[in-house]
Structure 1
Amino acid sequence: MEENDVVKTVGVGVISWTLAFVMARRIFCKYSFEFSNRLVSTAHATLAVTLASLSVQDWKCPLCPMASTSTPAQMQTLAVSLSYLIYDVVCCLFGGRVGLDNTVHHLISIAGITAGLYYQKCGSEMVGALWVTEMSSPFLHLREALKELGYRDTAVNLAADILFASIFTVARMVAGPYITYVTLSANNPPMIKAMGLGLQLVSAFWFLKIVRMMKYKLKKRTMTKHGINHASKLE
Protein backbone atom coordinates (compact mmCIF):
# COMPACT_ATOMS: atom_id res chain seq x y z
CA MET A 1 0.00 0.00 0.00
CA GLU A 2 1.57 3.28 -1.15
CA GLU A 3 2.03 6.25 1.19
CA ASN A 4 -0.45 8.32 -0.82
CA ASP A 5 -3.03 5.56 -0.49
CA VAL A 6 -2.57 5.53 3.29
CA VAL A 7 -3.02 9.31 3.50
CA LYS A 8 -6.07 9.12 1.25
CA THR A 9 -7.62 6.32 3.33
CA VAL A 10 -7.08 8.28 6.55
CA GLY A 11 -8.48 11.48 5.03
CA VAL A 12 -11.56 9.81 3.57
CA GLY A 13 -12.02 7.93 6.82
CA VAL A 14 -12.03 11.06 8.98
CA ILE A 15 -14.62 12.66 6.70
CA SER A 16 -16.73 9.49 6.65
CA TRP A 17 -16.78 9.08 10.44
CA THR A 18 -17.67 12.74 10.82
CA LEU A 19 -20.55 12.47 8.34
CA ALA A 20 -21.76 9.32 10.10
CA PHE A 21 -21.82 11.25 13.37
CA VAL A 22 -23.74 14.16 11.80
CA MET A 23 -26.31 11.72 10.42
CA ALA A 24 -26.64 9.99 13.79
CA ARG A 25 -27.18 13.35 15.51
CA ARG A 26 -29.89 14.22 13.01
CA ILE A 27 -31.66 10.86 13.32
CA PHE A 28 -31.30 10.53 17.10
CA CYS A 29 -31.66 14.21 17.92
CA LYS A 30 -33.62 13.43 21.11
CA TYR A 31 -30.57 11.77 22.61
CA SER A 32 -27.25 13.17 23.75
CA PHE A 33 -24.13 14.12 21.81
CA GLU A 34 -22.38 11.15 23.42
CA PHE A 35 -25.12 8.74 22.31
CA SER A 36 -24.47 9.55 18.64
CA ASN A 37 -20.72 9.28 19.12
CA ARG A 38 -21.14 5.85 20.69
CA LEU A 39 -23.10 4.68 17.66
CA VAL A 40 -20.19 5.72 15.43
CA SER A 41 -17.72 4.09 17.82
CA THR A 42 -19.70 0.84 17.70
CA ALA A 43 -19.65 0.94 13.90
CA HIS A 44 -15.88 1.42 13.94
CA ALA A 45 -15.30 -1.39 16.44
CA THR A 46 -17.35 -3.78 14.32
CA LEU A 47 -15.54 -2.73 11.13
CA ALA A 48 -12.11 -2.87 12.81
CA VAL A 49 -12.64 -6.42 14.12
CA THR A 50 -13.95 -7.52 10.72
CA LEU A 51 -11.03 -6.00 8.77
CA ALA A 52 -8.52 -7.30 11.31
CA SER A 53 -9.96 -10.81 10.99
CA LEU A 54 -9.85 -10.65 7.18
CA SER A 55 -6.21 -9.50 7.23
CA VAL A 56 -4.95 -12.47 9.28
CA GLN A 57 -2.62 -14.48 7.05
CA ASP A 58 -2.73 -17.78 8.95
CA TRP A 59 -5.35 -18.53 11.63
CA LYS A 60 -3.17 -21.37 12.94
CA CYS A 61 -0.78 -18.62 14.02
CA PRO A 62 -2.69 -15.29 13.87
CA LEU A 63 0.36 -13.22 14.84
CA CYS A 64 2.59 -14.79 12.19
CA PRO A 65 4.77 -13.80 10.52
CA MET A 66 6.11 -11.65 13.35
CA ALA A 67 8.11 -8.45 12.82
CA SER A 68 7.39 -8.77 9.11
CA THR A 69 6.46 -6.28 6.41
CA SER A 70 2.80 -5.32 6.70
CA THR A 71 0.46 -6.56 4.00
CA PRO A 72 -1.79 -4.12 2.07
CA ALA A 73 -4.81 -5.48 3.98
CA GLN A 74 -3.11 -4.85 7.32
CA MET A 75 -2.09 -1.34 6.27
CA GLN A 76 -5.65 -0.56 5.21
CA THR A 77 -7.05 -1.89 8.50
CA LEU A 78 -4.66 0.28 10.50
CA ALA A 79 -5.34 3.34 8.33
CA VAL A 80 -9.10 3.01 8.83
CA SER A 81 -8.68 2.80 12.61
CA LEU A 82 -6.26 5.75 12.59
CA SER A 83 -8.88 7.85 10.82
CA TYR A 84 -11.44 6.90 13.48
CA LEU A 85 -9.09 7.78 16.33
CA ILE A 86 -8.43 11.22 14.83
CA TYR A 87 -12.18 11.78 14.48
CA ASP A 88 -12.81 10.56 18.03
CA VAL A 89 -10.19 12.88 19.56
CA VAL A 90 -11.90 15.88 17.97
CA CYS A 91 -15.34 14.56 18.91
CA CYS A 92 -14.28 14.12 22.55
CA LEU A 93 -13.01 17.71 22.61
CA PHE A 94 -16.34 19.05 21.32
CA GLY A 95 -18.30 16.75 23.63
CA GLY A 96 -16.31 17.73 26.70
CA ARG A 97 -15.21 14.14 27.36
CA VAL A 98 -11.48 14.68 27.86
CA GLY A 99 -10.31 12.40 30.68
CA LEU A 100 -6.64 11.74 31.35
CA ASP A 101 -6.84 7.98 30.80
CA ASN A 102 -8.87 8.34 27.60
CA THR A 103 -6.49 11.01 26.27
CA VAL A 104 -3.42 8.86 26.99
CA HIS A 105 -5.11 5.91 25.28
CA HIS A 106 -5.85 7.99 22.17
CA LEU A 107 -2.33 9.42 21.99
CA ILE A 108 -0.67 6.03 22.43
CA SER A 109 -2.94 4.42 19.84
CA ILE A 110 -2.45 7.20 17.29
CA ALA A 111 1.32 7.24 17.79
CA GLY A 112 1.55 3.45 17.61
CA ILE A 113 -0.55 3.06 14.47
CA THR A 114 1.23 5.98 12.79
CA ALA A 115 4.59 4.34 13.56
CA GLY A 116 3.33 1.05 12.18
CA LEU A 117 2.18 2.72 8.96
CA TYR A 118 5.43 4.67 8.67
CA TYR A 119 7.70 1.64 9.11
CA GLN A 120 5.25 -0.63 7.22
CA LYS A 121 6.23 -3.31 9.71
CA CYS A 122 4.72 -5.28 12.60
CA GLY A 123 1.40 -5.57 10.77
CA SER A 124 0.48 -8.97 12.24
CA GLU A 125 1.10 -7.89 15.84
CA MET A 126 -0.62 -4.52 15.43
CA VAL A 127 -3.70 -5.98 13.77
CA GLY A 128 -3.83 -8.56 16.57
CA ALA A 129 -3.67 -5.77 19.15
CA LEU A 130 -6.42 -3.89 17.31
CA TRP A 131 -8.56 -7.03 17.30
CA VAL A 132 -8.36 -7.58 21.06
CA THR A 133 -8.75 -3.90 21.99
CA GLU A 134 -11.87 -3.40 19.86
CA MET A 135 -13.50 -6.72 20.69
CA SER A 136 -15.11 -5.39 23.88
CA SER A 137 -15.91 -1.89 22.57
CA PRO A 138 -19.46 -2.57 21.25
CA PHE A 139 -20.44 -3.93 24.66
CA LEU A 140 -18.95 -0.90 26.40
CA HIS A 141 -21.09 1.40 24.27
CA LEU A 142 -24.14 -0.87 24.67
CA ARG A 143 -24.06 -0.60 28.48
CA GLU A 144 -23.84 3.20 28.28
CA ALA A 145 -26.56 3.47 25.63
CA LEU A 146 -28.91 1.34 27.74
CA LYS A 147 -28.62 3.85 30.56
CA GLU A 148 -29.70 6.68 28.28
CA LEU A 149 -32.56 4.57 26.92
CA GLY A 150 -33.95 4.21 30.43
CA TYR A 151 -32.52 0.83 31.45
CA ARG A 152 -30.17 2.03 34.18
CA ASP A 153 -30.01 -0.30 37.21
CA THR A 154 -32.00 -3.02 35.43
CA ALA A 155 -31.20 -6.69 34.87
CA VAL A 156 -30.58 -5.92 31.18
CA ASN A 157 -28.01 -3.25 32.04
CA LEU A 158 -26.31 -5.55 34.55
CA ALA A 159 -26.12 -8.30 31.91
CA ALA A 160 -24.46 -5.83 29.52
CA ASP A 161 -22.02 -4.84 32.29
CA ILE A 162 -21.08 -8.47 32.97
CA LEU A 163 -20.72 -9.25 29.25
CA PHE A 164 -18.49 -6.22 28.71
CA ALA A 165 -16.33 -6.95 31.77
CA SER A 166 -15.91 -10.61 30.79
CA ILE A 167 -14.91 -9.90 27.18
CA PHE A 168 -12.60 -7.05 28.23
CA THR A 169 -10.86 -9.28 30.77
CA VAL A 170 -10.26 -12.16 28.36
CA ALA A 171 -9.26 -9.93 25.44
CA ARG A 172 -7.09 -7.34 27.16
CA MET A 173 -5.78 -9.19 30.21
CA VAL A 174 -5.23 -12.65 28.68
CA ALA A 175 -4.66 -12.19 24.94
CA GLY A 176 -3.34 -8.62 25.35
CA PRO A 177 -0.27 -9.44 27.50
CA TYR A 178 0.67 -12.25 25.12
CA ILE A 179 0.54 -9.91 22.11
CA THR A 180 2.56 -7.34 24.07
CA TYR A 181 5.17 -10.00 24.93
CA VAL A 182 5.40 -11.10 21.29
CA THR A 183 5.73 -7.50 20.10
CA LEU A 184 8.49 -6.73 22.61
CA SER A 185 10.35 -9.98 21.89
CA ALA A 186 10.35 -9.65 18.11
CA ASN A 187 12.67 -7.40 16.13
CA ASN A 188 10.29 -4.44 15.96
CA PRO A 189 11.14 -0.71 15.99
CA PRO A 190 11.50 0.73 19.55
CA MET A 191 8.63 3.16 18.94
CA ILE A 192 6.22 0.31 18.23
CA LYS A 193 7.44 -1.64 21.26
CA ALA A 194 6.95 1.39 23.51
CA MET A 195 3.45 2.01 22.21
CA GLY A 196 2.52 -1.66 22.64
CA LEU A 197 3.67 -1.62 26.26
CA GLY A 198 1.92 1.69 26.90
CA LEU A 199 -1.38 0.38 25.52
CA GLN A 200 -1.18 -2.69 27.75
CA LEU A 201 -0.55 -0.51 30.82
CA VAL A 202 -3.64 1.58 29.99
CA SER A 203 -5.64 -1.64 29.59
CA ALA A 204 -4.45 -2.82 33.00
CA PHE A 205 -5.50 0.50 34.56
CA TRP A 206 -8.95 0.22 32.98
CA PHE A 207 -9.19 -3.40 34.13
CA LEU A 208 -8.77 -2.30 37.75
CA LYS A 209 -11.51 0.31 37.29
CA ILE A 210 -13.81 -2.32 35.76
CA VAL A 211 -13.20 -4.70 38.68
CA ARG A 212 -14.17 -1.95 41.14
CA MET A 213 -17.21 -1.08 39.01
CA MET A 214 -18.43 -4.69 38.90
CA LYS A 215 -17.93 -5.14 42.65
CA TYR A 216 -20.04 -2.04 43.24
CA LYS A 217 -22.74 -3.08 40.75
CA LEU A 218 -23.06 -6.63 42.13
CA LYS A 219 -23.06 -5.42 45.73
CA LYS A 220 -25.71 -2.82 44.92
CA ARG A 221 -27.80 -5.41 43.10
CA THR A 222 -27.57 -7.82 46.04
CA MET A 223 -28.48 -5.15 48.59
CA THR A 224 -31.45 -4.02 46.47
CA LYS A 225 -32.71 -7.58 46.08
CA HIS A 226 -32.41 -8.26 49.81
CA GLY A 227 -34.13 -4.98 50.56
CA ILE A 228 -37.08 -5.92 48.34
CA ASN A 229 -37.35 -9.38 49.93
CA HIS A 230 -37.23 -7.86 53.42
CA ALA A 231 -39.97 -5.38 52.50
CA SER A 232 -42.13 -8.22 51.15
CA LYS A 233 -41.85 -10.10 54.45
CA LEU A 234 -42.88 -7.02 56.40
CA GLU A 235 -45.98 -6.70 54.23
Structure 2
Amino acid sequence: MEENVKKTVGLGVISWTIAFVIARRVFSKYSFDFSNRLVSTVHATIAVTLASLSVQDWKCPLCPMASTSSPAQMQTLAVTLSYLVYDIICCLFGERVSLDNTIHHLVSIVGISAGLYYQKCGSELVGALWVTEMSSPFLHLRELLKEMGYRDTAINLAADILFAAIFTVARMVVGPYITYTTLSAENPPMIKAMGLGLQLLSAFWFFKIARMIKYKLKKRTTTKHGIKHAGKLE
Protein backbone atom coordinates (compact mmCIF):
# COMPACT_ATOMS: atom_id res chain seq x y z
CA MET A 1 0.00 0.00 0.00
CA GLU A 2 1.41 3.39 -1.00
CA GLU A 3 2.55 5.82 1.70
CA ASN A 4 0.15 8.59 0.61
CA VAL A 5 -2.74 6.12 0.77
CA LYS A 6 -1.78 5.21 4.34
CA LYS A 7 -1.70 8.91 5.19
CA THR A 8 -5.14 9.41 3.64
CA VAL A 9 -6.56 6.57 5.74
CA GLY A 10 -4.96 7.87 8.95
CA LEU A 11 -6.02 11.48 8.39
CA GLY A 12 -9.43 10.30 7.29
CA VAL A 13 -10.10 8.41 10.54
CA ILE A 14 -9.10 11.52 12.51
CA SER A 15 -11.21 13.80 10.30
CA TRP A 16 -14.36 11.66 10.58
CA THR A 17 -13.90 11.52 14.34
CA ILE A 18 -13.56 15.31 14.55
CA ALA A 19 -16.63 15.75 12.35
CA PHE A 20 -18.58 13.50 14.72
CA VAL A 21 -17.44 15.46 17.79
CA ILE A 22 -18.51 18.72 16.12
CA ALA A 23 -21.90 17.26 15.16
CA ARG A 24 -22.34 15.96 18.71
CA ARG A 25 -21.77 19.45 20.11
CA VAL A 26 -23.95 21.27 17.57
CA PHE A 27 -26.82 18.77 17.78
CA SER A 28 -26.42 17.94 21.47
CA LYS A 29 -30.17 17.61 22.05
CA TYR A 30 -30.25 14.64 19.68
CA SER A 31 -28.83 11.15 20.18
CA PHE A 32 -25.36 9.70 19.60
CA ASP A 33 -26.75 7.87 16.57
CA PHE A 34 -28.11 11.13 15.10
CA SER A 35 -24.63 12.68 14.98
CA ASN A 36 -23.10 9.50 13.57
CA ARG A 37 -25.71 9.38 10.82
CA LEU A 38 -24.91 12.98 9.87
CA VAL A 39 -21.26 12.01 9.43
CA SER A 40 -22.33 8.92 7.46
CA THR A 41 -24.44 11.10 5.16
CA VAL A 42 -21.47 13.40 4.51
CA HIS A 43 -19.28 10.38 3.72
CA ALA A 44 -21.85 8.87 1.34
CA THR A 45 -22.10 12.15 -0.56
CA ILE A 46 -18.31 12.51 -0.79
CA ALA A 47 -17.84 8.84 -1.72
CA VAL A 48 -20.35 8.96 -4.60
CA THR A 49 -18.82 12.23 -5.85
CA LEU A 50 -15.23 10.91 -5.73
CA ALA A 51 -16.28 7.59 -7.28
CA SER A 52 -17.98 9.44 -10.15
CA LEU A 53 -14.93 11.65 -10.72
CA SER A 54 -12.59 8.64 -10.76
CA VAL A 55 -14.41 6.84 -13.58
CA GLN A 56 -12.03 6.74 -16.53
CA ASP A 57 -14.59 6.19 -19.29
CA TRP A 58 -18.34 6.68 -18.77
CA LYS A 59 -19.05 4.70 -21.93
CA CYS A 60 -17.72 1.72 -19.96
CA PRO A 61 -17.65 2.72 -16.25
CA LEU A 62 -16.08 -0.59 -15.16
CA CYS A 63 -13.29 -0.42 -17.73
CA PRO A 64 -10.49 -1.27 -17.66
CA MET A 65 -11.31 -4.37 -15.60
CA ALA A 66 -8.79 -6.24 -13.44
CA SER A 67 -6.28 -3.49 -14.16
CA THR A 68 -3.94 -1.31 -12.11
CA SER A 69 -5.92 1.21 -10.06
CA SER A 70 -5.56 4.88 -10.98
CA PRO A 71 -4.39 7.39 -8.32
CA ALA A 72 -7.90 8.86 -8.16
CA GLN A 73 -9.40 5.41 -7.54
CA MET A 74 -6.83 4.66 -4.84
CA GLN A 75 -7.61 7.91 -3.03
CA THR A 76 -11.36 7.34 -3.33
CA LEU A 77 -11.06 3.88 -1.78
CA ALA A 78 -8.71 5.19 0.93
CA VAL A 79 -11.26 7.83 1.98
CA THR A 80 -13.98 5.20 2.30
CA LEU A 81 -11.67 2.80 4.14
CA SER A 82 -10.94 5.52 6.69
CA TYR A 83 -14.67 6.10 7.15
CA LEU A 84 -15.39 2.38 7.60
CA VAL A 85 -12.71 2.11 10.30
CA TYR A 86 -14.17 5.16 12.07
CA ASP A 87 -17.76 3.92 11.73
CA ILE A 88 -17.21 0.37 12.98
CA ILE A 89 -15.53 1.81 16.09
CA CYS A 90 -18.22 4.47 16.52
CA CYS A 91 -21.02 1.92 16.25
CA LEU A 92 -19.52 -0.02 19.17
CA PHE A 93 -20.26 3.00 21.39
CA GLY A 94 -23.69 3.69 19.92
CA GLU A 95 -26.88 1.80 19.22
CA ARG A 96 -26.18 0.60 15.69
CA VAL A 97 -24.41 -2.66 16.50
CA SER A 98 -26.00 -5.46 14.47
CA LEU A 99 -24.65 -8.65 12.95
CA ASP A 100 -25.48 -7.77 9.34
CA ASN A 101 -24.05 -4.25 9.63
CA THR A 102 -20.87 -5.58 11.27
CA ILE A 103 -20.44 -8.19 8.52
CA HIS A 104 -20.93 -5.47 5.89
CA HIS A 105 -18.22 -3.32 7.48
CA LEU A 106 -15.74 -6.18 7.87
CA VAL A 107 -16.26 -7.49 4.33
CA SER A 108 -15.87 -3.97 2.92
CA ILE A 109 -12.75 -3.23 4.99
CA VAL A 110 -11.08 -6.48 3.96
CA GLY A 111 -12.05 -6.08 0.29
CA ILE A 112 -10.97 -2.44 -0.02
CA SER A 113 -7.74 -3.14 1.90
CA ALA A 114 -6.98 -5.97 -0.53
CA GLY A 115 -7.63 -3.66 -3.48
CA LEU A 116 -5.30 -1.02 -2.05
CA TYR A 117 -2.65 -3.62 -1.24
CA TYR A 118 -2.69 -5.18 -4.72
CA GLN A 119 -3.30 -1.76 -6.35
CA LYS A 120 -5.69 -3.54 -8.69
CA CYS A 121 -9.42 -3.74 -9.48
CA GLY A 122 -9.92 0.00 -8.98
CA SER A 123 -12.72 0.17 -11.57
CA GLU A 124 -14.68 -2.70 -10.01
CA LEU A 125 -14.17 -1.50 -6.43
CA VAL A 126 -15.13 2.09 -7.22
CA GLY A 127 -18.18 0.78 -9.08
CA ALA A 128 -19.19 -1.26 -6.04
CA LEU A 129 -18.61 1.79 -3.82
CA TRP A 130 -20.79 3.95 -6.07
CA VAL A 131 -23.61 1.40 -5.95
CA THR A 132 -23.48 0.74 -2.21
CA GLU A 133 -23.32 4.41 -1.18
CA MET A 134 -25.90 5.76 -3.64
CA SER A 135 -28.84 4.98 -1.35
CA SER A 136 -27.06 5.71 1.96
CA PRO A 137 -28.06 9.41 2.31
CA PHE A 138 -31.72 8.40 2.06
CA LEU A 139 -31.21 5.53 4.51
CA HIS A 140 -29.93 7.99 7.10
CA LEU A 141 -32.46 10.70 6.18
CA ARG A 142 -35.39 8.48 7.14
CA GLU A 143 -33.87 7.83 10.57
CA LEU A 144 -32.94 11.49 11.09
CA LEU A 145 -36.51 12.52 10.29
CA LYS A 146 -37.88 10.10 12.86
CA GLU A 147 -35.71 11.55 15.61
CA MET A 148 -36.67 15.09 14.58
CA GLY A 149 -40.32 14.24 15.18
CA TYR A 150 -41.47 13.31 11.67
CA ARG A 151 -42.16 9.62 12.32
CA ASP A 152 -45.24 8.28 10.48
CA THR A 153 -45.58 11.45 8.39
CA ALA A 154 -45.87 11.86 4.63
CA ILE A 155 -42.32 13.20 4.36
CA ASN A 156 -40.94 10.21 6.27
CA LEU A 157 -42.88 7.81 4.04
CA ALA A 158 -41.51 9.62 0.96
CA ALA A 159 -37.96 9.18 2.31
CA ASP A 160 -38.68 5.47 2.91
CA ILE A 161 -39.97 4.94 -0.63
CA LEU A 162 -37.14 6.95 -2.22
CA PHE A 163 -34.57 4.96 -0.26
CA ALA A 164 -36.19 1.64 -1.22
CA ALA A 165 -36.39 2.59 -4.91
CA ILE A 166 -32.75 3.75 -5.15
CA PHE A 167 -31.53 0.74 -3.13
CA THR A 168 -33.43 -1.66 -5.40
CA VAL A 169 -32.09 -0.21 -8.65
CA ALA A 170 -28.53 0.22 -7.36
CA ARG A 171 -28.10 -2.99 -5.38
CA MET A 172 -30.41 -5.43 -7.17
CA VAL A 173 -30.07 -4.27 -10.80
CA VAL A 174 -26.65 -2.64 -11.20
CA GLY A 175 -25.07 -4.54 -8.27
CA PRO A 176 -25.40 -8.06 -9.73
CA TYR A 177 -23.81 -6.87 -12.98
CA ILE A 178 -20.80 -5.45 -11.12
CA THR A 179 -20.55 -8.65 -9.08
CA TYR A 180 -20.64 -10.76 -12.26
CA THR A 181 -17.90 -8.72 -13.95
CA THR A 182 -15.77 -8.83 -10.79
CA LEU A 183 -16.08 -12.61 -10.54
CA SER A 184 -15.48 -13.10 -14.28
CA ALA A 185 -12.32 -10.98 -14.49
CA GLU A 186 -8.85 -12.03 -13.32
CA ASN A 187 -9.18 -10.44 -9.88
CA PRO A 188 -7.60 -11.61 -6.60
CA PRO A 189 -9.76 -14.17 -4.71
CA MET A 190 -10.15 -11.80 -1.75
CA ILE A 191 -11.80 -9.16 -3.93
CA LYS A 192 -14.04 -11.72 -5.61
CA ALA A 193 -15.14 -12.93 -2.18
CA MET A 194 -15.90 -9.33 -1.15
CA GLY A 195 -18.02 -8.75 -4.25
CA LEU A 196 -20.04 -11.92 -3.73
CA GLY A 197 -20.42 -11.28 0.00
CA LEU A 198 -21.71 -7.74 -0.49
CA GLN A 199 -24.20 -8.87 -3.12
CA LEU A 200 -25.58 -11.62 -0.88
CA LEU A 201 -25.90 -9.11 1.96
CA SER A 202 -27.64 -6.66 -0.38
CA ALA A 203 -30.17 -9.35 -1.30
CA PHE A 204 -30.82 -10.02 2.39
CA TRP A 205 -31.38 -6.30 3.04
CA PHE A 206 -33.58 -6.00 -0.06
CA PHE A 207 -36.11 -8.47 1.34
CA LYS A 208 -36.09 -6.68 4.72
CA ILE A 209 -36.68 -3.33 2.99
CA ALA A 210 -39.49 -4.78 0.85
CA ARG A 211 -41.25 -6.02 3.99
CA MET A 212 -40.75 -2.63 5.65
CA ILE A 213 -42.30 -0.72 2.73
CA LYS A 214 -45.20 -3.17 2.54
CA TYR A 215 -45.85 -2.67 6.28
CA LYS A 216 -45.61 1.14 6.03
CA LEU A 217 -48.01 1.36 3.08
CA LYS A 218 -50.47 -1.04 4.72
CA LYS A 219 -50.30 0.92 7.99
CA ARG A 220 -50.89 4.24 6.22
CA THR A 221 -53.83 2.83 4.24
CA THR A 222 -55.39 1.40 7.41
CA THR A 223 -54.94 4.72 9.24
CA LYS A 224 -56.58 6.69 6.41
CA HIS A 225 -59.55 4.31 6.34
CA GLY A 226 -59.87 4.62 10.11
CA ILE A 227 -59.91 8.42 9.94
CA LYS A 228 -62.53 8.41 7.16
CA HIS A 229 -64.68 5.96 9.10
CA ALA A 230 -64.43 8.09 12.24
CA GLY A 231 -65.41 11.16 10.25
CA LYS A 232 -68.57 9.48 8.96
CA LEU A 233 -69.55 8.46 12.49
CA GLU A 234 -69.24 12.06 13.63
Place the TM-score, normalised by the shorter chain, in its bin: over 0.9
Match of 2:29, SS state, is coil
1:183 maps to which residue? 182
Which segment is superposed worse, 90-99 or 11-20? Answer: 90-99
Paired amino acid for 1:120? Q
Q: Is the 8 A contact 2:164 2:209 kept in 1?
A: yes
Q: C-alpha displacement at 1:3, in angstroms?
A: 1.2
For 1:154, the aligned partner's letter is T
CA distance in 2, matches of 1:90, 1:56: 30
Q: Does 1:85 find its partner at 2:84?
A: yes
Code of the aligned partner of 2:11: V
| TM-score (norm: length of structure 1) | 0.99
* Cα distance, 1:195 vs structure 2: 0.7
Amino acid at match of 1:169: T
Corresponding position of 1:19: 18
Aligned partner of 2:218 in structure 1 is 219
SS in 1 for 2:160: helix
Q: Which position in structure 1 is the counterpart of 2:171?
A: 172
Query: What are the superposed Cα offsets for residues 29-85 of structure 1, whole Å, 9 maximum, x if unpaired?
Result: 000000000000000000000000000000000000000000000000000000000
Summarize the alignment of residues 2-151 of structure 1 with structure 2, pairs less than 5 Å apart.
Answer: 3-151=2-150
**Once the 2 structures are TM-superposed, how far is the Cα of residue 98 of structure 1 from its aligned partner?**
1.3
Q: Partners in 2 of 1:198 and 1:132 — Cα distance?
A: 14
- Return the offset for 1:135: 0.2
Secondary structure in structure 1 of the residue aligned to 2:225:
helix
The amino acid of 2:155's aligned partner reads V
Partner Cα separation in structure 2 for residue 26 and residue 101 of structure 1? 29
Q: Render the CA deviation track for 1:1-40: whole Å, top value 9, x for unaligned.
A: x611111000000000000000000000000000000000
Task: Find the aligned partners of 2:222 and 2:112 in 1 and give their Cα distance.
Answer: 45
Structure 1 stretches of at least 4 aligned residues deviating more than 3 Å after TM superposition = none
Gapped runs of 5+ residues in structure 1?
Answer: none
Matched residue pairs, number? 234
Report the secondary structure of 1:207's partner residue.
Answer: helix
Name the structure 2 match of 1:163.
162
Q: Distance in 2 between matches of 1:165 and 1:98?
A: 22
Deviation at 1:160, TM superposition (A): 0.3
Deviation (angstroms), 1:96: 3.6
Amino acid at match of 2:158: A
